[in-house]
Amino acid sequence: MTTINATLLSMVILHNEETDEVLLLDRPSEAGFPGYIGPGGKIELTESFTEGAVRELYEETGFIVYPTDLIFKGIDEFIIPEENYRYIVFNYVAHSFSGAPHESPPEGKLHWVKRSAATELPMQNWFQERFPKFFEEGTFEVSIEYEKHSEIPVKLTKRTLG
pLDDT per position as a tens digit, 52-103: 999 999 999 999 999 999 999 999 999 999 999 999 999 999 999 999 999 8
Fold of 5-161: Nucleoside Triphosphate Pyrophosphohydrolase (3.90.79)
pLDDT of 34 above 70: yes
Residue type, 10: S
User: Given a cut of 80, is residue 33 above it in pLDDT?
Assistant: no
Return the pLDDT at 31. Answer: 66
Q: Has this prediction a pTM greater than 0.85?
A: yes
Q: Return all residues near 111 (Cβ < 8 A) that are at least 6 apart.
A: 23, 24, 25, 26, 36
Say what the pLDDT of residue 32 is.
Answer: 66
In degrees, rounded to 5, the angle at the alpha carbon of residue 69 between the alpha carbons of residues 143 and 96 is 115
Residues of the chain above pLDDT 90, percent: 76
- Residue-range domain boundaries for the chain: 5-161
Closest CA to 98 of 72, 63, 47: 63
